[in-house]
Amino acid sequence: MISRIVVSLLVVLAWAPAMGQDVRAPSSVGEIRLSFAPVAKRVAPSVVNVYAARVVENRFPMFDDPIFRRFFGGSPREQVQRSLGSGVIVDPSGLVVTNFHVIENADQVRVSLADKREFEADIVLKDQHSDLAVLRLKDARERFAAIELGDSDALQVGDLVLAIGNPFGVGQTVTHGIVSAVARTQVGITDYQFFIQTDAAINPGNSGGALVDLSGRLVGINTAIFSRSGGSQGIGFAIPVNMVRGVIASAQGGSAVVRRPWLGAKLQAVTPEIADSLSLKRPVGALVSSIAPRSPAARAGMRTGDLVVSVDGQEVDDANAFDYRFATKPLGGQAVIGVLRGGRELKLTVPLESLPEIARDETLIRVRSPLLGAKVANLSPALADELRMDIDAKGVVVTDVENGSTAQSFGLQKGDIVVSINNAKIETTQDLIRALSQPGRLWRLTIQRGGQQISAVFSG
């Protein structure tokens, strides 16, 4: 019935000019509900188009053979890969939030404003965990129209929302719908499985665009759709703005990475069988399966077997919901975590601390070797978390591999841990540099990848 009333009111508004009535701005909250135009007009200047480009080489394997190049000539051809997305201005100085997957591996990023002006943009921060990134407009000497941030926790199922972005590159587009769900945790898009679901039409190119409420406040960043055809089927997902806030704050503070609290405990889903064993009415909460020594969880008195049910009074339905609630807490304070233990609910006070960090000593390898062109660093829990590795991992890790480098041709990948070189154990980047400085043209390299050790012999 409500949808029919809204449609009828929109039809009346569409016919108003033909009936000789003057078009005017709504003068009351009740009249605003008759049209989305005031909201769209207010928000549109804050929503931008993001164009990302990456230069890649189309390598023919025979080009690696010097004899082939000598007799047949030729060289790898370069190709420019482009991606299109949307973004939202969140700071008048020219900070723009978009999705990580829109600018991933980009060599060049351009931002087009709603008034058609274009700016080159620097990538200030990339956070693969949340699929968010922050850009800064270059040579910007003005104050831009920044959107107001709302409160995603205040959203309710059934609330009307607008999605604004650049679908299929056709230009800025506004669609409307309702909030279909507020805490989708089984989507599988990012590390933090906690999304706003909406039936507002979202299509390719909308990624990074704004989901706003009827007050024009940002409540989410449109990120993904469920589709069998590639187009909108009424199931779209947005990252809640309360997650976006922390990413913006990190960028404004000058950090290139997002620092979040860590618990130091592994949580698992509560199955119906576990719920029965704990005498729960339904499978809810997150079960503590292990605790790291000296971690915030350990110091707060958390135990294996505890059932986490709340964070600062907000209920936790599963492990994904806990991860989101805990990750959005500001560093430096404390969180009160409710747990069930032996049939009693306890309140544990957990300090909000970031993962431990050590001197990374990040180094680009320039020595002629299988690692030539690889960037390596000393592993710490913080770096392991950034690379989406086990935080207990230790040693020297490959953090990047240059395109077309020797390291890439030998198959080295980001996240590989260098275990040994010519039987010399590698524990720090200085160990690695010393091992590579030894004379010789035969290299015995052992790396760890995905929990497995791989050994190979290289010559050259």
Give the residue numbers marked as catalytic.
101, 131, 207
Cα–Cα distances (Å) from 446 to 136, 258, 397, 416, in that order, read 41, 32, 12, 10
Nearest-angstrom CA–CA distance, 244 and 223: 12
Report the DSSP pairing between strands 344-351 and 363-364: unpaired
Q: Which of 79, 49, 75, 50 is nearest to 63 (CA)?
A: 75
Q: What's the CA gap between 447 and 421, in Å, rounded? A: 9
Distance in angstroms (rounded) separating the CA atoms of residues 269 and 278: 13
- How far apart are alpha carbons 76 and 15 in whole angstroms? 61
How far, in Å, CA of 132 to CA of 97, rounded? 7
How are beta strands 217-225 and 148-149 bridged, if at all?
parallel
CA distance 261 to 257: 13
| Separation CA 223–CA 291 (nearest Å) | 33
Q: Which of 238, 260, 262, 237 is nearest to 249 (CA)?
A: 260
Alpha carbon distance 448, 394 (integer Å): 11
- Locate 174 and state its tokens: 């506004």
- The single-letter DSSP state of residue 33 is T
How remote is the C-alpha of 35 from its chain's centroid?
33
419 with 448: CB under 8 angstroms?
A: yes
Residue 437: both structure tokens together: 């400085």
